Structure 1
C-alpha cells in the first residue's frame, strides 16, 4: 500500500482557486434562483419576496372583472391607502398628493394606462413606490398590519372615517390577503391574530337640513326658473327633485325611472316600481366607458324591486314633465338636452343655483337642503313625523328599520311630547 502523498504549496493554491470558483458559481446560482422566485412572488420554502405594490397590481387585475364600477373605485381607494401605509423609509419620497394621484389615476386602474403617456412626475413617483414598497410578507408583522389597519380607519385629513368606509376598506384588505394565501404568497393570515374593531361613528341626519313642505315647494319652483327657458335646464329637473322629496328616492334611483315603471293616474295616488340605479362613477371604472353604470337597487339582490307610492302632487308633476318633454329613447323620465343620463354634477349645480333665490338669505346660508340628497332626508323625516309606521317608511325608502330610526332619531320633532301624552292617557284610565 502506497503512502498518501501530502499536498504541496502549489496544490493548495489550486484547491483554493477551485473553491473560490465553486463558491462564486454557487452565489450566482442562488441570486438567479432568488430573482426567479421574486418574479413568481415566492421564495424557497414558501417565503415571500414580492412587494406589496407588485402584488396589489396583480390582485386588482384578477379582481377587476368580477366587481361593479362603484366597487372598483372603492377598491382603488382602499389599495391606495394600504399601499401608502406599506411604504418604507426610502429617500426621495414624493409629496402625499402626488403619490395619491399617481396611484389612483395611473397604477390601480385596469387596463393600466401606458406609463409612457404619464407626466414625468407621475412616472418618477410610481418608480419610487415600486422601490419603496415593503415586501408582502411584512403584513405578518403585527406592528405593520396594525399600522395598515390604522391607515384604513382615517380619512386623508386625519379624522376618523365613517364606519361604512372603514368596513369597505378593511374588506379590500381581507380579500387581498385571502387571494395571497390562495396563491401561496402568504403562509398565514396576518389578520387572524389581530384584535381590531371598526370605530363606530354616528351617522345621524342633521335636522337642520330638513325642509318643510312650504320650503320644498318654493325650492321646486325656483328650480323651474334656472337656465334659459328655451333650453329648460331647470324645468327638466323639477320632477327629478320632486321624486326625491315626495317619494324619498335616492338620486341614483330617480335618474333611472322610466315611464313603463310608473302608474300615473289622472287623479289620486300613483306608484313606481324601482329596479335599477344609474350611479355616476366615471368612465375609467365602467366596462362601457361611460360615466354612468347600470346597477340594481342598493341592499337588494340582483333583479330585486321596490314599489314606492307616489302622492298626487308628484304624479301631476311627472305627468306634466312627460307631456312637455316626452321621454328618453329608453323611456327615462329625466334626461339632458341630448337625451343622455342626467349627471350628478348637472343636478348638483342646478340645485345650488335654485337655493340662492328659492330661500331667504338667512336660510340660504344655513345647511337647509344644502344637497339634493337632503330632499330624501326631508321625505323620510316627514313621513316619520306624520306618524307613518317605521316599517312602512323603511320599505318605501329601501332601508332597514334599525338604520332608519338611528339616522333620523334627531328629526322626530315632538315625538317625545306625543309619547308622554299617550302614557298620561293610559295612566288616567286606571286612576
Structure 2
C-alpha cells in the first residue's frame, strides 16, 4: 500500500446535476483527490466523520483508494466475522469504555447465529466468552486466549457466513432472533433488544458506507422489537421525608464509619440529581459552599464504572466528559443549603484526596458501585418497613436522582431549568418523567372544566 499522512478534507455538497438527491464527500491524500456519493446527507456526513476520526488517530491513508488502513481492512474482509473485527478496530479508539462494552455484548450475541453448519461447534457459553474476552478486542489489546477459547475463535473464523450472505432477509432474521434471546434461551428485555439491534444496524450501515452491501438489509425485514419503557416508574420515587430517613439510616451502616463516609455521596444524588459517575468524580474545587444560603456545583467530569478490559487506562473508573455533551462542557448545578451543610461537614470530617476528590474509598481510591450499593441496601432495611423493602421504592441509589428530578418538576420549576440542572434535554426530560408528574391531571381537568363552563 502506497500510504501517506497528508490528508485534507472538504465540505460535503449536494450534487444538483443528478436526477435524484445525492451528496458528495470529497477529500485528498498526498494531493490526489477522492470522492464518494451517497443518497442522503446523513450517510455522507457519517462517512466523512469516519475519515476524520481515522486521520485524528494517525492512521495512514492509501493514496490510490483514498481510504485509511482500517477501512481497507474492512473492505478486504470476506466473512461477517472478519468484517465485524475490522469494524471494532475502527470504532475502538474514539469510543467510550461503556460503548465498547455495549458493542462487544451485542455482536457476541449476533455472530454465533451468522455461521454455517460446521462440525465441532463449541457450546453457546464458550462462544460468547471467547468473543467477549478475546476475539472482539483489537489485536494489540487482546489477551492470550486459553486453548478452549482459541479453538472457539478458529471455529468462528472457518464457519462464519460470507458478508454477501447478509443481503438475504432470512439470514438477517437469524441475527435478529438471536439478539431477542438471553444465553439461557429466555426472552431478553425490551431495552436490551433495542440496544443490541442499534449496534447491528450501525455495523450494517458501515458495510453500506464501504459499498460492501447495496443497502442496509435490516430495512427489508418486517421485524418489530418489543416496546421499550422509557418512563421512570413512579413507584421508585421517594418523598423528601423518606429521603431524609434513608440518608440518616446510611450513617448507621457498617463499621469504621463506612456508611458515614458515603452519606454525602447519596445526598448529592438526591439534592443535586447527580449521576453516580458524576458524584464519585466530584472535587472540592468544583464546589462553592458558602456558610449560609445556596451553593453551586460545577460538574464537568464523570467516572462511570466499567470492566477494565474496555478502558485505555486499565482503570475501572476511566475519566470522561459529561453524558451527551462535549468533553469540555460544564454543567452548573445550584444546591440547597441542606446539601451545602452536608458537604462542608463531610470535607471537615474526611478531608479530600490529593486531586481534590471529595469521595474516596478507605484506601483513597474511587468508590466502587458494589461498595455504595451494599450500604444502600442495608440502609433501606433500616429506614423502611418490610413491605417497602420488598417494593421498588428507592431500590437503587440511582433512584435518588429520579426522586430529585420528580420533586423539582412537581414543585413547579420550569422544564428547561430542570433539564439544565439534571443534564437532560427538555424533550427527554418530559418523556422520561411523564409518569412522575403528580397532580397534573387535576389541574388539567380544572382548566378543561373552566373552558367548558365559560
Q: TM-score per shorter chain, which class? A: 0.7 to 0.9
Alignment partner of 1:234: what SS?
Answer: helix
**Structure 1 contact 272–310 (Cα < 8 Å) conserved:** yes
CA offsets, 1:82-120, max 9 Å, x none? 2122122223333322221221112212311112xx1x4
Relative to structure 1, is the Cα distance of residues 41 and 414 closer, same or farther in structure 2, using a 3 angstrom cutoff?
closer
Q: Could you tell me how far 1:320 is from its partner in structure 2?
A: 0.5
Relative to structure 1, is the Cα distance of residues 299 and 166 closer, same or farther in structure 2, using a 3 angstrom cutoff?
farther
Which residue of structure 2 lines up, in the alignment, with residue 391 of structure 1? 416
Which residue of structure 1 lines up, in the alignment, with residue 363 of structure 2? 338
Which residue of structure 2 lines up, in the alignment, with residue 324 of structure 1? 349
Higher relative contact order (CA 8 A, sep 6+): 1
Of the candidates 381, 386, 393, which is equivalent to residue 368 of structure 1?
Answer: 393
**Structure 1 contact 141–190 (Cα < 8 Å) conserved:** no
Of the candidates 163, 167, 172, which is equivalent to residue 145 of structure 1?
Answer: 172
Relative to structure 1, is the Cα distance of residues 420 and 104 closer, same or farther in structure 2, using a 3 angstrom cutoff?
same
Relative to structure 1, is the Cα distance of residues 134 and 248 closer, same or farther in structure 2, using a 3 angstrom cutoff?
same
Whole-angstrom distance in 2 between the partners of 1:368 and 1:252: 22
CA offsets, 1:263-284, max 9 Å, x none? 1111111111111100111211
Whole-angstrom distance in 2 between the partners of 1:192 and 1:107: 25
Q: Say whether 1:113 aligns with 2:139.
A: no
Kindly report which structure 2 residues correspond to 1:249-260, keeping only aligned pairs within 5 A, or say none.
Answer: 249-260=274-285
Kindly report which structure 2 residues correspond to 1:177-192, keeping only aligned pairs within 5 A, or say none.
Answer: 177=204, 179-180=206-207, 186=212, 188-191=214-217
Whole-angstrom distance in 2 between the partners of 1:399 and 1:200: 22
**Structure 2 contact 81–111 (Cα < 8 Å) conserved:** yes
Work out which of the two has the higher radius of gyration on C-alpha atoms and give 1 or 2: 1
**Structure 1 contact 263–271 (Cα < 8 Å) conserved:** yes
CA offsets, 1:383-428, max 9 Å, x none? 1221222222122111122222222222222221233345556667
CA offsets, 1:183-242, max 9 Å, x none? 67x25334386266665412221111111111111111111112213xx22111111101
Gaps of 5+ in 1: 1-39
CA offsets, 1:350-395, max 9 Å, x none? 1112112121212111111110011111111111221222222122
Relative to structure 1, is the Cα distance of residues 200 and 302 closer, same or farther in structure 2, using a 3 angstrom cutoff?
farther
Of the candidates 173, 178, 187, which is equivalent to residue 159 of structure 1?
Answer: 187
Of the candidates 96, 103, 123, which is equivalent to residue 75 of structure 1?
Answer: 103
Aligned residues: 379
Kindly report which structure 2 residues correspond to 1:49-68, keeping only aligned pairs within 5 A, or say none.
Answer: 50-68=78-96
**Structure 2 contact 205–216 (Cα < 8 Å) conserved:** no
Q: Say whether 1:315 aligns with 2:340.
A: yes
Relative to structure 1, is the Cα distance of residues 280 and 388 closer, same or farther in structure 2, using a 3 angstrom cutoff?
same
**Structure 2 contact 410–437 (Cα < 8 Å) conserved:** yes
Greater strand share, structure number: 2
The list of structure 1 runs, each at least 4 consecutive aligned residues, that deviate by more than 6 angstroms after superposition, is none
| TM-score, normalised with respect to structure 2 | 0.76
